[in-house]
Amino acid sequence: MIAHSLTLTACPRRRSPRVVALLRALGAVLVLELLFALVLALGLPQPAHAQDTLTRIAETGTLRLGHRESSVPFSYYDTRHQVVGYSHDLALRLADVIKAELKLPALTLKLVPVTSQNRIPLVQNGTVDLECGSTTHNAERARQVAFSVSFFVVGTRLMVRRDAGIQGFDDLHRRRVVVTAGSTSEKQLRLWRERSKVDVEIITAREHGVSFRVLESGQADAFMLDDALLYGERAKATRPDDWVVVGQPMAQEVYGCMMRRDDAAFKRVIDQGLTRLLQSGEALKLYQRWFQRPIPPKGLNLNWPPSEALLQLYRTPSDRPWPAP
């Protein structure tokens, strides 16, 4: 027995460096697992994505709300650098719904700016609890994040200078088109170019406002985006009448608020609250405020009545992606 014991203690001296490294790695993993078990046992704070969202909001009294910087008139900065817009107003009302659901005396809003490129990762990693801006709900994105019932319907079209001689997508041969990087318009345009074999130069920009400046400066002949957002960019232009939105929509899409996947309790609260806003007429009042009256920053009226598709969405809210897979 003594000899056997001596053999065991002597073995490590003959182990290869690779085996030693492996054992150390296994030991580190075991330590991490023990620490995580201790965190669970003691009820210590966990990373945001390891908790359900309602529990984290209840414990911290804070809702992390994602917003866009230049998605006029949905979610954008006004001249005082305050976040405003149709989607943002809906989000503020949903914050009140969460506050009431959790019976909180107060709820702090932490506003987190997001872009087309980083909005999904920031929801996935817990930096943002809820993002209500101008995010299209489609089947591909629904595999990465959860979506609320939809709150808007758009079509992807073109904005051009009034005298550009472009009436639609068929006029884009040997033209330059700017799109916002990470948007569904970018993907649609690249697929259309591949299928149609039309010679189109595609330019990408970080945000919608930057895309419009590319168009306005003459570096692009057309700007492809959701029609509502194009009218919003036109509203910010120095000379709005110089610009027109043209063409039949390449696709029709719906917007929804984004949340992390597999959090049924939080999605239920958001869906129920948003459904009440849509069916009660409150969302229509917000629509009229942002699409049929003067809005910041220049007091321009988009003069865009709600479409029948949008009114139908208000009557019968759905969380299905559009087009359905």
Q: Is pLDDT of 28 > 70?
A: no
CATH hierarchy code of domain 53-151+256-315: 3.40.190.10
What is the reported pLDDT for 34? 42
Strand 62-67 to 108-113 pairing: parallel
**154-252 carries CATH number 1.10.10.10:** no
The model's pLDDT over 151-163, given as tens digits with 9 standing for 90+, comes to 999 999 999 999 9
What is the reported pLDDT for 15? 47
Cα distance between residue 67 and residue 132, in whole Å = 6
Cα distance between residue 284 and residue 15, in whole Å = 73
What is the reported pLDDT for 160? 98
Same fold, 53-151+256-315 and 154-252: yes
In the structure, what pLDDT confidence band is assigned to residue 322 with cuts at 50, 70 and 90? confident
Residue type (1 letter), 314: Y
Strand 62-67 to 130-131 pairing: parallel
- Mean pLDDT for 143-153 is 97
Cα distance between residue 151 and residue 283, in whole Å = 8
Strands of 70-71's sheet, edge to edge?
70-71, 75-77, 83-84
> Roughly how many angstroms between the first and final C-alpha of the chain, as a whole number?
69
Q: Which are the contacts of 174, defined by CB distance < 8 A and separation ≥ 6?
A: 199, 200
3-state class (DSSP) for residue 30: helix
Place of tokens 């957002």: 229
Query: Which run of H or of E encompasses 35?
Result: helix 17-42
Q: Which two tokens stand for residue 34?
A: 């023990």
Cα distance between residue 279 and residue 273, in whole Å = 10
Q: Burial of 208 by CB count in 10 Å (0-12 exposed, 13-18 middle, 19+ buried)? A: buried
Q: What is the residue extent of each domain of the chain?
A: 53-151+256-315, 154-252
- Mean pLDDT for 167-193 is 96
Lowest mean pLDDT among 1-10, 54-63, 94-103: 1-10
Look at residues 159, 151, 142 and name the one whose alpha carbon lies nearest to residue 284.
151
Beta carbons of 236 and 297 less than 8 angstroms apart = yes
3-state class (DSSP) for residue 147: strand
Q: Which are the contacts of 166, defined by CB distance < 8 A and separation ≥ 6?
A: 158, 160, 172, 175, 221, 222, 246, 247
What is the reported pLDDT for 9? 30
Query: What does pTM read for this prediction?
Result: 0.78
What is the reported pLDDT for 235? 87
Identify the bridge partners of residue 175 per DSSP, sorted by sequence position. 200
